[in-house]
């Protein structure tokens, strides 16, 4: 009786551990806030026509980008993209640094993959 109870406790503990790991992985994959996804879809809709089909394609696109690029790197790339449009020294730093170029290239690769899969 005692060994059977130990096995049951071990199985219960392993099940709980597995469930915790799955929840953590799901949160890692879905780390984009709803507002960031909505902002992307609104911008994409403006660029691609405000149709039902465009909405589905744009939603698909941000989902693909989110699966390839963690949110903190997406924010970095979006910041670089925005700041590189600023005139003068400040914008120049975002246009010429290797880190900025790397962040933009990573975003562009994710966007290209999303374009192939969704449009």
pLDDT in tens, 100-118: 999 999 999 999 999 999 9
Q: How many CB atoms lie within 10 A of CB 15?
A: 10
Q: What is the mean pLDDT of the chain?
A: 84
Q: How far apart are the first and last CA of the chain?
A: 61
Identify the helix (H) or strand (E) that includes residue 16: helix 2-29
Distance, CA of 117 to CA of 119 (rounded, Å): 6
DSSP reduced 3-state for 5: helix
Q: Identify the band that residue 92 occupies on the pLDDT scale cut at 50, 70 and 90.
A: confident
Select from 73, 74, 91 the least CA-distant residue to 82.
91
Q: CA nearest 70: which of 10, 39, 30?
A: 30
In whole angstroms, how far apart are CA 97 and each of 72, 84, 110? 19, 10, 20
In this prediction, residue 16 carries a pLDDT of: 54
In tens, the pLDDT along 42-75 reads 999 999 999 999 999 999 999 999 999 999 999 9
Sign of CA dihedral 49, 54, 59, 60: negative
pLDDT of res. 24: 46
Report whether pLDDT(26) > 80: no
């Amino acid at each position: 009786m005692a060994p059977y109870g130990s096995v049951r406790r071990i199985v219960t503990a392993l099940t709980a551990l597995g469930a915790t790991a799955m929840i953590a992985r799901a949160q890692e994959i879905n780390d984009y806030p709803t507002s960031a996804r909505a902002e992307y879809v609104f911008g994409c809709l403006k660029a691609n026509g405000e149709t039902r089909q465009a909405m589905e394609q744009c939603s698909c696109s941000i989902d693909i980008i989110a699966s390839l690029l963690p949110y903190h790197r997406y924010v970095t790339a979006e910041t670089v993209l925005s700041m590189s449009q600023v005139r003068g020294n400040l914008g120049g730093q975002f246009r010429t640094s290797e880190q900025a170029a790397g962040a933009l290239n990573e975003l562009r690769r994710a966007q290209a993959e999303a374009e192939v899969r969704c449009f």
